[in-house]
Amino acid sequence: MSGEGGPLTATRPAPSAEDAAAAVSRMRDMSADLRGCAVLRSDGEALAASGDPERWQEAAAVLLGAADLAGEGQVDSLHVATEDGEVFAVRHRDLTMVAVSERFALASLMLFDIRTVLRDLAAGRGPAEGRV
């Protein structure tokens, strides 16, 4: 993974759009129930998305903003189920992944997969490097 996307920490650069696109692709490969997902920076800008990046940015801002009102700070993760599908979001360092799945997706597995993909992306590990 290249890491040309700007600073993530003092020692590790933020992932590039190409790296984020690879993470979106990896997530799609990992979950048959996934309808789509996006990787966003801490400022809410989509680095990569399976659909329209602006639509993902807007939806993520509303979703995460509402979830943050539930506590005294930013939520680390969330899961919302409706009759039509499920929504997941995980924040890790300066990155967020938001994903939409079919109804009755196994929530614990979806959240685990999202966390794994985000941690690998933040650490600069590619798909093959991140798997054990």
Q: Is 38's pLDDT higher than 80?
A: yes
Q: Is 7's pLDDT higher than 80?
A: no
Q: What is the pTM of this model?
A: 0.85
CA distance 51 to 70: 28
Q: Is 64's pLDDT higher than 60?
A: yes
Q: Could you tell me the domains of the chain? A: 17-124 (3.30.450.30)
Q: What is the pLDDT of residue 126?
A: 67
Percent of the chain with pLDDT over 70: 86
Please report the DSSP string for 98-115 in residue order: EEEE-TT--HHHHHHHHH
For 106-117, how does the pLDDT look when each residue is reduced to its tens digit (9 = 90+)? 999 999 999 999
Q: What is the pLDDT of residue 127?
A: 59
Q: Is 4's pLDDT higher than 90?
A: no
